[in-house]
Amino acid sequence: MKRWLPTILIALLAACSGHNVNENDPASLLLDAEEDIASSRYIIAIDKLRMIKNKFSYTSFAATAQIRMADVYFLQESFPEAAAAYETFGDLHPKHERVAYAMFRAGESYSRDIPENTSRDLKSADNAIRAFDAFMQRFPKDQNVPQALSLRIVAYNRLAQKELQIAQFYLRREKYESARGRLERILDMYSDSKSAEEARKLIKELPNTKEYKQ
């Protein structure tokens, strides 16, 4: 029964919209999916796009459906799913005319997923930097490079900020050697970050002693 649900949903929507959806015509399905996206009917759009990708996998429509699915995830603010879908598109279609867009959007999706609270896991910031670096290395003249650079800086500063907060945590507990390690990490890995200046100041103020509190 589950495998027929997308077909049933599409049929119901077609009945409500007053026109038929030809499931054997990828162009018709894609056009309908675009109308659904424009009307924020994202779940129905995903069903149609997935049907195109599965039924017409060896056509250009499948690639279009795949990247539009990533776009829908992005519109839904399902950023981890969007990032994965964009990267999969790039892996499967490395010579496609939209691969630059997909690589940039993967980085943007990771960037949108970075939590404001730096005490949380910042793996998405690492992933954003990795994705943007790959994008800019391959497409250095793409129109999205300036935005990629800007978003990369945000991710870079967020990671440096987390290191600084950890160092400050150790300082409050007089764990000076642990604090020194974090501050040196900032100066080594994030020397151009906003946190680097504070790290330089703090490392100069550290007592020249081993930490005794474990």
pLDDT at 209: 55
> Measuring CA to CA, which residue among 78, 86, 7, 17 is closest to residue 47?
7
Nearest partner of 46 among 27, 67, 69, 26, judged by Cα: 69
- pLDDT beneath 70, residues of the chain: 1-20, 209-214
The pLDDT of residue 210 is 54
How far is the C-alpha of 174 from the C-alpha of 152, rounded, in Å? 33
pLDDT at 58 (0 to 100): 87
Q: What is the pLDDT of residue 207?
A: 87
**CA atoms 191, 195, 196, 202: torsion sign:** negative
pLDDT in the model for residue 91: 95
Model confidence pLDDT, tens digit, residues 140-159: 999 999 999 999 999 999 99
